[in-house]
Structure 1
Amino acid sequence: MQNLKLQEEIKSLKGLGQHFKDQLKLASIELGDFSDEDLALLDKCVQYYAFSQIYDSNLNFLRDYYYGKKRDCLENKRTKVQQHLELQRIKSAIEMAAKDVAVLERFKAAAKERLIPDTVALQRRSHQVATKQGLLDRQKTLKIPKDFNIESVIEKVDSLERR
């Protein structure tokens, strides 16, 4: 049973080989006309045909394959151009961000120069609090009569200034 299948497969492969030879003769091509590299490619093609169980050599398949490869090539070129444009956009965005970082670094340096250390700020604050407390204490010790009118004093000063 197994032997019968092998014999049928051998017979069909011989028939296929004869078919391909006939196809080559129709195109006026002899196997001796091919270089070793071309024969290696043909051998690989035959292996692919045998592997894929395709036995009909049709030029339309080759044209479809060619146009498919050509389409892939054009799509790859288009994708490459799009990616190049995207890369340029990203590079310009990086340059803008670098400029912004430089401006922020200059601002940070200027702010550090103007920054007052914590110890100095605490000393100033304690001095201001002490001055305020001193003024409040002086105000408490100052005895202002209840009938004192500041507006009349201001009017008298203004009249003296006018003279």
Structure 2
Amino acid sequence: MTRAAILLCVLAFAACGAPRGPAPRPPATSISAERPLAELPPQDLGQGQCGMALWQRTEPARRIAYILDEPPSARVVDSGDVIALARTSSEGDAIARHAPLQRFAGAGRSLVIEVRIEQREGLLSGAIIPEGTLTWQSASGSVVVPVFGLIGCR
């Protein structure tokens, strides 16, 4: 092959949009979207409380958060420990004593849940959460997770 032919091949390859340089990497602070939080063990619901249990939409589904109306707090498992975060704000009309948008924080972590809450006929002392999102932020990074759940009152 002559020099002209080699140069022509190199130019043709470059013109085809060959990638230049290494591919961009995700931020070093991202958390795996598949398992950002560990599965939460069963939680107790005291007399007079309403609890919201949220499951991550995975196969199989995993319970990853438990929200209490009193005291207003959220429980999750992070780094192997069950931690409680205090509610810092809530917005929207409460159903079964839970607002559709709630924010929690503590110990350098934060949690935001935004859910659709439905009361259904025949369901006593609670509600259904057909869909929603949970946004988790910690020193490891942040992630948004699709969730569904239930609210039960005792």
Give your verdict on TM over 0.5.
no
Higher helix share: 1
Higher strand share: 2
The structure whose RCO (Cα within 8 Å, separation 6+) is larger is: 2
TM-score (norm 2): 0.21
**Rg comparison, structure with higher value:** 1
